Amino acid sequence: MELSDIRMRIDEIDAQLLDLFCARMGLAADVARAKAGTGKAVFDPAREREKLARIAEQAPEHLRPQAIALFSLLMSMNKAEQQRILAPARPERISELMRRALKPHDEPFPALATVACQGVEGAYSQIAATRLFRVPSITFFDTFEDVFRAVCEGRCAFGVVPIENSTAGSVNAVYDLLAAHSCYIVRSLRQKIDHSLLAKPGTRLEDIREVCSHEQALAQCAGYLARLGVQATPCKNTARAAELVAGSDRRDLAALSSRACAELYGLDIIEPDVQDSDNNYTRFVVISAEPAIWPGAQRTSLMLALSHEPGSLFRVLERFYALDINLVKLESRPIPGRDFEFMFYFDIDCPVGAEALGTLLDGLGDVCERFTYFGSYTEVL
């Protein structure tokens, strides 16, 4: 056969496949109504195993993996359609929560706000807050927990906390607090982090025996500190470390802090930019006690807990693929007190108004044990 004839035959088969696909998806409504009448869940694992086993038996051996992948995807798309049909407009649906939280198209992100930050003046959270809000009224707290409490109790409208670093990874304590306090992310900022080694005026590099800073900063400068051969001592905050050095009589003590802290606390910059990677960025998020989505929001954050069985993560990822939704972050973390079981953090890149996003979020409960919606927002670069 000539190539043109082969392609013509492929087109004919594709047309038939499309008709059959549409017919198969059309039956999702009938399946959904039948399940609604009996109270059965959309996901029927026994039925899927039986179906895929039959496909594997019927397919030629050399095409068996492709056939299984194809029919797994077909079933995933069918389940997503069933979820859409079975989920009428209810206040508890995530898509309904998002619809109510969406701000008018002409409402800008607030320029003036009361903001909670962890640390003291000069902390990276404070620097991030001044980029996120034009004129923030900042109140400082000792811990991330205190920041969340201030927001939840209404003492501050927003909080700014670090959630992820390109070198040291996620700030798990912040994810835990997001879930525990039912707060929402309403904005994020990707900020370049440059750590400087600060000490009292007149201190020489060879005099330094101990360096203090936040544990994330110490991790981001671990190689540098190892070469210096100094003791690394964690403290609550990078700016608090600078404050500690400024108030100490010791000449062998230094801090890893921002350049701004040198002027704030009367310290010398012994060495600038000492982080191990020049590509050192931290993502800060703005948290709120209530969900709020400003126009242009493109990013959504979730946490899912999955059952401890083969294929549980695959079923979730299959749903993302079926709905053509892009993942920009996927990270696992052990569930405390449950051996070999994990929760997963997801960041999704999808416009808030997209129907696929609502379909995904309203149907996730069928493919995981539980999930938490952290919010939809714009990330500022």
pLDDT per position as a tens digit, 58-93: 999 999 999 998 998 888 888 877 877 776 545 468
Highest CATH level, class, for 196-271: alpha beta
What stretches of 39-171 show up as alpha helix (H) in DSSP? 45-58, 64-86, 94-101, 124-132, 144-152
DSSP track, 45-77:
HHHHHHHHHHHHHHS-GGGHHHHHHHHHHHHHH
pLDDT at 79: 81
Helix (H) and strand (E) counts in the chain: 13, 15
CATH of domain 295-381: 3.30.70.260
Q: Residue 348: CB partners within 8 Å, gap ≥ 6? A: 299, 300, 301, 302, 320, 325, 326, 327, 328, 357, 360
Q: Establish how many alpha carbons lie within 13 A of residue 103's alpha carbon, considering only the half-sphere containing its beta carbon.
A: 18
CATH of 104-193+281-288, one of 3.40.1350.10, 1.10.3720.10, 1.10.132.20, 3.40.190.10: 3.40.190.10
Res 60: pLDDT = 94
Residues in Cβ contact with 228 at an 8 Å cutoff, skipping those fewer than 6 apart: 205, 208, 211
What are the Cα distances from residue 139, in Å, to 125, 158, 243? 11, 10, 17
**Fold match between domain 1-86 and domain 295-381:** no
Judge contact between 163 and 174, C-beta under 8 A: yes
Is 114 among the residues known to form the active site? no
Beta partners for 285?
Answer: 161, 188
Q: For the chain, what is the largest distance between any 2 Cα atoms, rounded to a whole number of angstroms? A: 89
Look at the chain and count its residues: 381
Q: DSSP per residue over 261-288, as a string?
A: HHHHHT-EEEES---S-SS-EEEEEEEE
Lowest mean pLDDT among 89-103, 257-271, 274-288, 352-366: 89-103
- Told to judge if 284 belongs to the known catalytic residues of this protein, a careful annotator would answer yes
**Rounded mean pLDDT, 240-265:** 95
Express the helix, strand and coil content of the chain in percent, nearest 5 each: 45, 25, 30
- Distances, alpha carbon 304 to alpha carbons 29, 175, 330, in Å: 27, 12, 10
Instruction: Tell me if the pTM is above 0.85.
Output: no
- Give the pLDDT confidence of 331-347 residue by residue, as tens digits: 988 776 666 677 899 99
| Amino acid in the structure at residue 22 | C
Out of 167, 203, 238, 282, the active site residue is 282
Are the C-beta atoms of 188 and 283 separated by less than 8 Å?
Answer: yes
Residue with structure tokens 């802290």? 261
159 vs 116: CA distance, rounded Å? 4
Catalytic option among 284, 320, 344, 346: 284
- In the predicted model, what is the mean pLDDT of residues 256-274? 95
Mean pLDDT of 281-298: 96
| % of the chain surpassing 90 pLDDT | 65
For the chain, the structural domain boundaries read 1-86, 104-193+281-288, 196-271, 295-381
Average pLDDT, the chain: 90
What does the block give as tokens for 187?
A: 């904005």
| Per-residue pLDDT, 323 | 86
195 or 167, which is more confident?
195
Element (H, E) at 240: helix 238-246
- Residues 101, 103, 108: CA angle, nearest 5 degrees: 140
* Measured distance CA(267)–CA(243) in Å, rounded: 9
- What pLDDT does residue 222 have? 95
- What is the band of 123 on the pLDDT scale with cuts at 50, 70, 90? very high
Does residue 246 register a pLDDT over 70?
A: yes
**pLDDT tens profile 9-35:** 999 999 999 999 999 998 888 888 888
Superfamily for 1-86? Chorismate mutase (1.20.59.10)
Position 376, amino acid: S
Helices 312-322 & 355-363, crossing angle to 10 degrees? 160
- Give the pLDDT mean for 122-151: 95
How many beta carbons lie within 10 A of that of residue 151, not counting itself?
A: 26
pLDDT at 88 (0 to 100): 59
374 by DSSP, 3-state: which? Answer: strand
Spatial contact of 228 and 276, defined as CB atoms under 8 Å apart? no
Question: Alpha-carbon distance 195 to 167, whole Å?
Answer: 13
Which pLDDT value is given to residue 89?
Answer: 47
Residue 219: its pLDDT value, please? 92
% the chain with pLDDT above 70 = 97
> Using 50, 70 and 90 to split pLDDT, how confident is the model at 298?
very high
